[in-house]
């Protein structure tokens, strides 16, 4: 990572909220390369940019070009979300959690006459009740111990052993009611099971006072180990009351859509729940205009954008926004995807917490946009782009009479030059003054390589020139099947913007932020191109001077070109230094030629 990119990410980390959540580092291709969780997202992300000897941190930052995040209510929710997303995206720098091992759950097998309680990591459609998942894992084991001690459910798996004459040690320890030797009736045992289910469902308000009383009594009698035991059980009970929002103990599938609106901007945020786990998220942002003047229309526009390219759609879609006309959403998915869905406006129930979290992240997506420079927002509005172009690539060609034709590329990220991504091109497909052919070569080389290496494509392409340059750019993108990338040309004479939508060109007010940004980018790529061209011409002039000097053949000429960048640096060189490189006779002839060229230049000046 270059210093400019690292500085950009550091500034982005400062804008992250101080909340629990998960964060992502992404590479040039916008692939997730690392996922982490944090109790405080801002502090955790800022720590990446402090001095450290951690090789993993250095490796992540060397490859990362962007970062993103999702917020949660608790660190526990963040842990579940981190686990699910790592298993879904398999980031290269996450070494843990990539296997299919999931967080543990508590299982009560209700199909038995005397149901047992145990720990599992798999949910099956076997008639059992599942509770959890639990994080950390030892909370599941503590919960099982708690149920055994207070509700006396058996913890042995399988059918009850037959022919036993006395109960096992668990009964002697007060951890089982010994149904295996008929010390409890089936009706009494089933009552205990129902009470345990109420407890696991979070109705533990009756149990907590009993445990707190026992803890205080143990402390008063100086039984501190026993008091600590009751304290840990109390914490386990309270943790059960905090049910995770991002994982559920059942193999359910659902799409949950949150909604937020700030001013004229609307955002739709989706959590995709698969097999009881949130495994993916997505969002869309929309700027309201005269054609869309109410919330329901804006929601439908965002809904279309979200599902237009999506194939994995759940049969139930839960909305946080109470829509009057849900049928339009159902009809859209049937007509475009042949998918029958049920749209549910949910304000309560088990998804309430996750929908509220989706609303919060939808609002955060809108706040993220507030960090986008006004010039980019103005440019997106002016050019009718779907979103502000955060990554802009601009091209220019420089030549003098068809000699030393070169091309140049500059990159602007978030409205600022990203010099580490600048590129220079020597034209090789033709000779002579042909700017359009040169531009075609440069564009083809650039985007063929990006496609081949599966790297990030720009949000907008700018070419210096007019209609001819625009047509060349569009032709290249079409041939590479990436014609969806917007392209504009900016002509110098009247600062006219050419694009598909305006055949006669678009002339903006000179004070327009959009025009000023395009002018800055155009001038920067022109400066970069002409600087490269002048260096090439100077080097060519230098190379020509060395021709036909006695004693300087191909090898010595290559040594001089390798050690001296131009004529100026060679004239300033010490004779002995040059003699050591190519020999004294050749150096004597070279300095005589240099002196002759200086004299000729002075005569021309006079």
DSSP per-residue letters across 37-91 = EESSHHHHHHHTTS----HHHHHHHHH--EEEEEE-SSHHHHHHHHHHHHHHH--
Q: How far is CA 208 from CA 237, 281, 497, 576, in A?
A: 7, 37, 71, 92
Residues 570 and 502 in one domain: no
- DSSP assignment of 288-309: -BTTB-SHHHHHHHHHHHHHTT
Q: Are the C-beta atoms of residues 272 and 314 closer than 8 Å to each other?
A: yes
> Tokens 């996750």 map to which residue?
354
- In this prediction, residue 200 carries a pLDDT of 77
Give me the CATH number covering residue 592.
1.10.150.20
User: What pLDDT band is residue 606 in, cutting at 50, 70 and 90?
Assistant: very low
What share of the chain in percent tops pLDDT 70? 85
Residues 262 and 155 in one domain: no
Q: How far is CA 464 from CA 186, 524, 535, 596, in A?
A: 85, 11, 21, 41
User: What pLDDT band is residue 221 in, cutting at 50, 70 and 90?
Assistant: confident
Least confident of 53-57, 118-122, 254-258, 348-352: 348-352
Residues 166, 182: Cα–Cα separation, whole Å: 10
User: What pLDDT band is residue 202 in, cutting at 50, 70 and 90?
Assistant: low
Give me the CATH number covering residue 341.
3.30.420
User: What pLDDT band is residue 565 in, cutting at 50, 70 and 90?
Assistant: low
User: What pLDDT band is residue 371 in, cutting at 50, 70 and 90?
Assistant: low
Q: Model confidence over 70-83: pLDDT tens digits?
A: 999 888 888 888 88
- In this prediction, residue 568 carries a pLDDT of 65
Residues 434 and 482 in one domain: yes
Statement: residue 8 has pLDDT above 80: no
Mean pLDDT taken over the chain: 81
- In this prediction, residue 601 carries a pLDDT of 45
Q: Is residue 231 assigned to a domain? A: no
- In this prediction, residue 596 carries a pLDDT of 65
User: What pLDDT band is residue 2 in, cutting at 50, 70 and 90?
Assistant: low
Looking at 369, 397, 422, the residue that finishes a domain is 369
Residues 385 and 527 in one domain: yes
Domain containing 155 equals: 105-202
Looking at 369, 403, 430, the residue that finishes a domain is 369
**Choice between 12 and 412, residue whose per-residue pLDDT is larger:** 412
**Choice between 558 and 337, residue whose per-residue pLDDT is larger:** 337
Residues 364 and 386 in one domain: no
In 3D space, the residue among 261, 318, 246 whose CA is nearest the CA of residue 292 turns out to be 261
CA 202 to chain centre: 36
Q: Is residue 539 assigned to a domain? A: no
Residues 47, 489: Cα–Cα separation, whole Å: 42
User: What pLDDT band is residue 43 in, cutting at 50, 70 and 90?
Assistant: very high
Residues 487 and 522 in one domain: yes
- In this prediction, residue 203 carries a pLDDT of 64
User: What pLDDT band is residue 392 in, cutting at 50, 70 and 90?
Assistant: very high
Number of domains, the chain: 5
Residues 112 and 38 in one domain: no
Residues 410 and 490 in one domain: yes
Residues 282 and 387 in one domain: no
Residues 339 and 431 in one domain: no
Statement: residue 274 has pLDDT above 60: yes
Q: Model confidence over 172-200: pLDDT tens digits?
A: 777 888 888 788 888 888 887 887 777 77
- In this prediction, residue 247 carries a pLDDT of 63
Residues 532, 286: Cα–Cα separation, whole Å: 41
- In this prediction, residue 163 carries a pLDDT of 74
- In this prediction, residue 317 carries a pLDDT of 92
Statement: residue 292 has pLDDT above 70: no
Q: Is residue 169 assigned to a domain? A: yes
Predicted TM-score (pTM) of the model is 0.54
- In this prediction, residue 214 carries a pLDDT of 81
Nearest-Å Rg of the Cα atoms of the chain is 35
User: What pLDDT band is residue 602 in, cutting at 50, 70 and 90?
Assistant: very low
Residues 221, 56: Cα–Cα separation, whole Å: 51
In 3D space, the residue among 236, 192, 176, 189 whose CA is nearest the CA of residue 211 turns out to be 236
Q: Is residue 226 assigned to a domain? A: no
Q: Is residue 113 assigned to a domain? A: yes
In 3D space, the residue among 367, 403, 352 whose CA is nearest the CA of residue 533 turns out to be 403
Residues 130 and 50 in one domain: no
In 3D space, the residue among 378, 374, 411, 387 whose CA is nearest the CA of residue 508 turns out to be 378
Statement: residue 245 has pLDDT above 70: no
Q: Is residue 207 assigned to a domain? A: no
Q: Model confidence over 511-551: pLDDT tens digits?
A: 888 999 999 999 999 888 888 767 766 555 555 566 667 77
Give me the CATH number covering residue 404.
3.30.420.340
- In this prediction, residue 41 carries a pLDDT of 94
Q: CA triplet 120, 123, 124: central angle to 5 degrees?
A: 115
How many DSSP H helices and E strands does the chain contain? Answer: 20, 19
Q: Is residue 138 assigned to a domain? A: yes
Statement: residue 473 has pLDDT above 90: yes
Q: Is residue 224 assigned to a domain? A: no
Q: Model confidence over 314-353: pLDDT tens digits?
A: 999 999 888 888 888 999 999 888 889 899 887 667 788 8
Residues 386 and 510 in one domain: yes
Looking at 60, 89, 118, the residue that finishes a domain is 89
């Amino acid at each position: 990572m270059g210093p400019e990119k690292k500085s950009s990410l550091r500034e982005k980390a400062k804008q992250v909220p101080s909340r629990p959540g998960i964060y992502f580092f992404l590479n040039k291709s916008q692939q997730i390369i690392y996922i982490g969780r944090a109790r405080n997202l801002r502090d955790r992300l800022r720590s990446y940019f402090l001095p450290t000897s951690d090789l993993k941190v250095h490796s992540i930052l060397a490859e990362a070009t962007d970062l993103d995040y999702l917020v949660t209510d608790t660190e526990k929710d963040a842990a579940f979300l981190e686990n699910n997303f790592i298993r879904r995206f398999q980031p290269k720098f996450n070494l843990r959690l990539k296997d299919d091992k999931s967080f543990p759950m508590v299982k009560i097998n209700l199909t038995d006459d005397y149901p047992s309680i145990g720990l599992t990591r798999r949910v099956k459609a076997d008639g059992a009740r599942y509770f959890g998942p639990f994080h950390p894992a030892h909370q599941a084991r503590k919960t099982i111990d708690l149920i055994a001690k207070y509700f006396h459910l058996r913890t042995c798996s399988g059918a009850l052993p037959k022919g036993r004459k006395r109960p096992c040690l668990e009964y002697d320890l007060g951890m089982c009611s010994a149904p295996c030797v008929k010390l409890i009736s089936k009706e009494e045992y089933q009552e205990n099971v129902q009470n345990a289910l109420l407890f696991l469902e979070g109705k533990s308000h009756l149990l907590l006072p009993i445990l707190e009383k026992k803890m205080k009594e143990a402390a008063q009698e100086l039984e501190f180990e026993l008091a600590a035991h009751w304290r840990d059980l109390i914490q386990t009970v309270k943790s059960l009351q905090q049910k995770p929002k991002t994982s559920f103990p059942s193999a359910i599938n659902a799409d949950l859509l949150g909604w937020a609106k700030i001013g004229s901007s609307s955002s739709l945020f989706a959590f995709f729940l698969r097999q009881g786990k949130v495994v993916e998220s997505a969002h869309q942002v929309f700027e309201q205009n005269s054609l869309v003047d109410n919330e329901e229309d804006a929601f439908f526009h965002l809904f279309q954008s979200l599902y237009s390219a999506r194939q994995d759609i759940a049969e139930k879609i839960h909305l946080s926004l109470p829509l009057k006309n849900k049928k339009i959403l159902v009809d859209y998915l049937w007509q475009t995807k042949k998918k029958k869905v049920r749209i549910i406006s949910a304000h309560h129930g088990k998804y309430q917490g996750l929908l509220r979290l989706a609303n919060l992240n939808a609002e955060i997506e809108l706040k993220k946009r507030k960090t986008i420079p006004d010039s980019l927002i103005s440019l997106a509005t002016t050019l009718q782009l779907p979103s502000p172009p955060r990554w802009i690539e601009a091209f220019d060609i420089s030549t003098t009479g068809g000699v030393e034709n070169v091309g140049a590329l500059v990159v602007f990220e978030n409205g600022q030059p990203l010099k580490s991504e600048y590129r220079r091109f020597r034209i090789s497909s033709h000779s002579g003054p042909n700017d359009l052919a040169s531009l075609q070569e440069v564009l083809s080389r650039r985007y063929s390589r990006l496609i081949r290496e599966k790297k990030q494509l720009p949000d907008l392409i700018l070419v210096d020139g007019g209609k001819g340059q625009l047509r060349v750019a569009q032709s290249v993108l079409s041939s590479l099947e990436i014609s969806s990338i917007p392209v504009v040309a900016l002509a110098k004479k009247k600062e006219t913007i050419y694009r598909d939508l305006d055949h006669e060109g678009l002339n903006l007010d000179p004070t327009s932020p959009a025009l000023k940004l395009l002018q800055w980018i155009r001038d920067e790529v022109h400066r970069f191109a002409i600087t490269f061209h002048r260096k090439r011409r100077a080097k060519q002039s230098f190379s020509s001077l060395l021709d036909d000097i006695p004693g300087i053949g191909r090898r010595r000429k290559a040594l001089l070109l390798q050690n001296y960048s131009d004529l100026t640096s060679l004239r300033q060189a010490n004779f002995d230094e040059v003699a050591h490189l190519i020999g004294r006779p050749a150096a004597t002839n070279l300095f005589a030629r240099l002196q002759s060229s200086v004299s000729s230049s002075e005569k021309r000046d006079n």
